[in-house]
Chains A and B, each alone.
Chain A
Amino acid sequence: DAGITQSPRHKVTETGTPVTLRCHQTENHRYMYWYRQDPGHGLRLIHYSYGVKDTDKGEVSDGYSVSRSKTEDFLLTLESATSSQTSVYFCAISESTGGPSEQYFGPGTRLTVT
């Protein structure tokens, strides 16, 4: 299994509070991604990173920000959590070798915003 951990694994927070989720990898892969998973929607890309300090928006980036100060860590921040951000969040990593590559996923973080 790819060395990907996510913390926390579960979190309950109140509307309007800031929340930061952490993804840590030990594979030294260049690309990292944050997804959210909701019933009927599959996985939707929030933000991704293609290197230290290099990030870009995905399909559903509104209300989220990210940072990557080290190769191994990719943080997802909800500046002011809303109930619509209740979801399961997955981190993934990939190492492109000249063409599209598969992604490897972490175990997920279940976030509930009350």
Chain B
Amino acid sequence: AQSVTQLGSHVSVSEGALVLLRCNYSSSVPPYLFWYVQYPNQGLQLLLKYTSAATLVKGINGFEAEFKKSETSFHLTKPSAHMSDAAEYFCAVSDGSSASKIIFGSGTRLSIRP
């Protein structure tokens, strides 16, 4: 069965500092992995996705994630945090079915200190 674990329910960084949000996955099939962002009172928006092509995936708003099979990880990074990055971030894995069902992690809330 597929699952994801997000390490840290809340991460706080200073503006301009590196952002690192951790995600580990478990999958019985080659995984498709996603990062979504949710701003307050809004729906989820796709940041980036890994679909077995390049292991380093670039997304919107300067975010990127690296797929590491040996570590079963898909951590999200951004070199320099901006105040507008404050949001909740969800890592997710496809369950491998044809119905494109996705299993979400419990989320990490990112706060940015001025």
A residues near B (Cβ < 8 Å) are 4, 31, 33, 40-45, 48, 50, 56, 58, 90, 92, 94, 96, 99-108
Give bound CA distance, A40 to B8, whole Å: 11
B99 touches A48 (CB 8 A): yes
A to B contact number (C-beta, < 8 Å): 57
Give bound CA distance, A92 to B34, whole Å: 15
Give bound CA distance, A94 to B9, whole Å: 28
A100 touches B46 (CB 8 A): no
What is the CB-to-nearest-CB distance from B97 to chain A, in angstroms, rounded to a whole number?
8
Which of B14-22, B37-45, B76-84 interfaces with chain A?
B37-45
Residues of the A chain whose Cβ atoms lie less than 8 Å from the Cβ of B105: 42
Determine the main DSSP class of A at the interface with B.
strand
A42 touches B99 (CB 8 A): no
- Name the contact of B34 in the complex, choosing from A50, A102, A108 (C-beta under 8 A): A102
- B75 adjacent to chain A (CB < 8 Å): no
- Name the contact of B99 in the complex, choosing from A41, A96, A107 (C-beta under 8 A): A96
B51 touches A50 (CB 8 A): no
Residues of the A chain whose Cβ atoms lie less than 8 Å from the Cβ of B32: 99-100
Q: How many residues from B make CB contacts under 8 Å with A?
A: 26
- Name the contact of A43 in the complex, choosing from B49, B51, B96, B104 (C-beta under 8 A): B104
Interface string of B94-112 (1 = CB under 8 A from A): 1111111110111100000
Give bound CA distance, A96 to B51, whole Å: 13
A107 touches B104 (CB 8 A): no
Instruction: Give me the 7 closest cross-chain CB pairs, A-B, nearest first.
Output: A100-B94, A105-B43, A42-B104, A100-B32, A94-B100, A105-B44, A42-B106
A40 touches B9 (CB 8 A): yes
What is the CB-to-nearest-CB distance from B17 to chain A, in angstroms, rounded to a whole number?
26
B49 touches A102 (CB 8 A): yes
A48 touches B43 (CB 8 A): no
What is the CB-to-nearest-CB distance from A42 to chain B, in angstroms, rounded to a whole number?
4
B106 touches A41 (CB 8 A): yes
Give bound CA distance, A108 to B39, whole Å: 12
Residues of the A chain whose Cβ atoms lie less than 8 Å from the Cβ of B106: 40-42
Residues of the B chain whose Cβ atoms lie less than 8 Å from the Cβ of A107: 42-43
A45 touches B101 (CB 8 A): yes
